[in-house]
Structure 1
Amino acid sequence: MTTTAGTIRVAIQIPPSRADYAAIRRVAAEADALGADAVFNWDHFFPLGRNPDGKHFECWTVLGAWAESTSRAEIGALVSCVSYRNADLLADMARTVDHISGGRLILGLGAGFREWEATEYGYEFGSPAQRVRELGEALQRIERRFAQLNPRPTRKVPILVAADGPKALRLVARHADIWQTFAEDDVFSAKSRQLDSLCHEVGRDPATIVRSVFTEGDPWTVGPRLRERGVGMVTLMTRAPDFDLDELRRWLAWRDEQNGRPHG
């Protein structure tokens, strides 16, 4: 992941659900060809939404396939739940996808939030404090394993951490290259300032962490407000069965205008 101060990146999340894999592969390839900076899936065992029934594919198997079927965009999970896999194994999986993709993996990590889903697959689902502690332990193990693998990752794999609480934000300050949040507007700004303070506590430049949010709407209206608050990456969502990418096209045109480069 290469970023320059003041640049804006546009990503899209394509759920691996409610569609045949051929359709999922096709839309990921189209988003890649359009110029999306990153193409994300998610790490769940069932579709999100009111109806958990429906087609659904496993996160990391899909990422391995996308590593071969895309060529430009960074790819990753938004996000991978650290309690679903041994942390050292997850590091090995990430390193492998990094190599297959030619150095395009973003390792997105989170503490998990769907208790019934974890229970259905036989995983323990601890308290919020326990899950944040597990996230911190996983981050340390993953970084340690990256340094021990042969071959090592092709680059310093960017780590994205989804976090909003103060203890989780401290992990962002110590380990993350990208901070993903659902916070909006003034709440986002307050949490961003809190992250700045935590970075200073651990001796880190806050500018080295990209702020990332989900968004929607007209980019020429919404985008400037996000940039004023320090957002460096926006992620759009598309849903099956239509997988409409028109919104992505508009945001990419706005991105290129903001970054001062020709679109298309």
Structure 2
Amino acid sequence: MPGAGRVRQPEGPSLSVVIPVLDDAAALAECLALLARQTRPADEVIVVDNGCSDSSVQVALDAGARVVREPGRGIPAAAATGYDAAAGEVIVRCDADTRPPEDWLARIGAAFGADPGLDALTGPGRFYDLPRPLAWLASAAYSSGYRYGAGAALAGVPVWGSNFAMRRTAWQRCAAEIHRHQAGIHDDLDLSFQLAPWATVRFDRGLRVGAAGRMFNGPGAFARRFGWAFATLKLNWAIQSPGQRWLDRVNARRPAFRRT
């Protein structure tokens, strides 16, 4: 699939798209079809099989994606395995239910190509499977809440698992610090904690994708995700408190005193 029927654009860094999957064949098929229509194709698409019992693996292979397997259940383990396997200079992450517009990869490639100091890039999403008035409100509330709430918790810009990219060198720097074998946490928030102390992470309002509003599928789904968020915060705050994180950030940005 990557590059099929297209001329590879030489500009910008190489891109590896990573998609963790567990029994999501129909959504994955749509996501891969949209990736195949990108104006700037991916150099590789990696689908991480996290123990699928449906046709997800065959869907990925039929679309020309590379399949890697992660037997340890959980998105943290699956996502990390995909990042480890990526060969591109920039690792792009989405979910099986992500719906990227045709210029998604082009925007990502251009952003990293234009700014050598950029370590990670993220953007918002729109919940495409909710009723229209609710979709707009829920999308705006979730994006703002996650961006500013999680940002305050980690003293930085959080990346969102349905829509972000990072340099492979950035991943290699923090790969040993993430909690890849910790079940019941948000992998993207956990990664954000490891990036925050040193990485340059940018939020791009125009880097927008569609996403499924699964968290709104009843109070149980919302409570489960809230529990994952709390567990992720607790895990990382045990290492360094929010206050210390902000203090370190302020000190890192304070100009050094020079004696004249």
Per the normalisation by structure 1, the TM-score is 0.27
Per the normalisation by structure 2, the TM-score is 0.28
